[in-house]
Structure formats: structure tokens, C-alpha cells
Amino acid sequence: MTTTLYVGNLPWNTTADELGQFFSDYGQVDSSRIITDRETGRSRGFGFIEVEEADAVRMAEELNGKDFGGRPLTVNEAKPKQM
């Protein structure tokens, strides 16, 4: 089973590969993606990481506030999108 983590306050030039690689030092990463603006294609400064359920809570606790590219990350369990 996987859990999706929200990752905010990312540097604007962060790639999905860089994000996944950073998180892989702390546990099993199944996928990573950076959310981009539909019109410009530029990063919106946040993304999502799918991790093994067993690693999710520990990763969120260890990485929330951790420096990434000179910025403190915001990491928590992703909430379902409100319609």
C-alpha cells in the first residue's frame, strides 16, 4: 500500500526526479510529481510523493521543515481534493 505526501515550499526549479531522489534517502518512493501551472507550465511550488505506507508518517515527521534547496519543506499527508 502507498500513501501520498504533500510537499510544499519547493524551489521553483525543482524537478520530480530531484524531489524523488531527496525523499528516497528516507524510505521507499514509488513516484513523485511537481504540480505545474496549466497555462505557463511553470512549477507552482508544490508536489506529491507516493511512498510506502509504513514509511509515510516517519518521513513526514523527519522531512517537515527540512532544508531543500535553501527552503524549509512543508510535508504532510495529502488530503483528498475538495470538489
pTM of the model as a whole: 0.92
> What is the pLDDT, as a whole number, of residue 7?
98
Q: 82 falls in which pLDDT band (50, 70, 90)? A: confident
For residue 49, what are the domain limits?
A: 2-77
Residue 47 belongs to a domain:
yes
Neighbours of 29 (CB within 10 A): 21
**CB-based burial of residue 13 (10 Å sphere; 0-12 exposed, 13-18 middle, 19+ buried)?**
exposed
Residue 83 belongs to a domain:
no
pLDDT, one tens digit per residue, over 28-81 is 999 999 999 999 999 999 999 999 999 999 999 999 999 999 999 999 999 887
**Mean pLDDT of the region 3-26:** 96
Give 17's contacts (C-beta < 8 A, 6+ positions apart): 32
Residue 72 belongs to a domain:
yes
Q: 83 falls in which pLDDT band (50, 70, 90)? A: low
